[in-house]
Amino acid sequence: MATSEIAERLFAHGIQPTAQRRRIAAVLLSAPQHMSAEQLLAQLVADGARVSKATVYNTLNLFASRGLIRPLTVDGARVWFDSNVEAHYHFHDVESGALTDVAVPEVEFSRLPPPPAGMEVAGIDLVIRLRKASPG
């Protein structure tokens, strides 16, 4: 993704494009992917970026609150940030923890419950847990 495109996306979401935010966006938004805060920090440090842990967390939360990325909670241990905010679902390998996207057309609901009175559906999180197939 071009540097200018990143700045544009930040701007479009009402986010001041500081140096750190650009760096963070450049890594996370470079592809449809899932990263944890620690992973992202490690990557940035490896890239020689000058960013602190606090800023990574603050920035990820800012991005998420502005709809630039989506937080995922597939296990209790940590939050994953998904650079793909389009509707989609996930496979979750229970053993390795690996997350894989499932495109919307691959899932079809022929029935969904109506939301309770006064409520509306804000989103649907579908996680298909996977384990090694038992032989036979």
Distance CA 52, CA 30 (A): 20
Identified binder of a copy of itself from the candidate list 79, 84, 88, 99, rule CB under 8 A: 79
Instruction: Name the residue nearer to DNA (CB basis): 11 or 104.
Output: 11
Instruction: Name the residue nearer to DNA (CB basis): 48 or 116.
Output: 48
Compose the 86-115 pattern: x for residues touching a copy of itself by CB under 8 A, - for all others. -----x-xx-----x-x---xxxxxxxx-x
Total chain residues near a copy of itself (CB under 8 A): 39
Distance CA 125, CA 136 (A): 31
Distance CA 113, CA 3 (A): 44
Q: Greatest CA separation found in the chain?
A: 56
Residue 79 is a binding residue for DNA (CB under 7 A): yes
- Given DNA, a copy of itself, none, residue 44, with its beta carbon under 5 to 8 Å by kind, binds none
- Given DNA, a copy of itself, none, residue 39, with its beta carbon under 5 to 8 Å by kind, binds none
Q: What's the distance, Cα to Cα, between the start and end of the chain in Å?
A: 46
Handedness of CA 34, 36, 40, 45 (dihedral sign): negative
Tokens representing residue 110 in the block: 């022929």
Q: Which residues sit at the interface with a copy of itself, rule CB under 8 A?
A: 71, 73-76, 78-79, 91, 93-94, 100, 102, 106-113, 115-116, 118-134
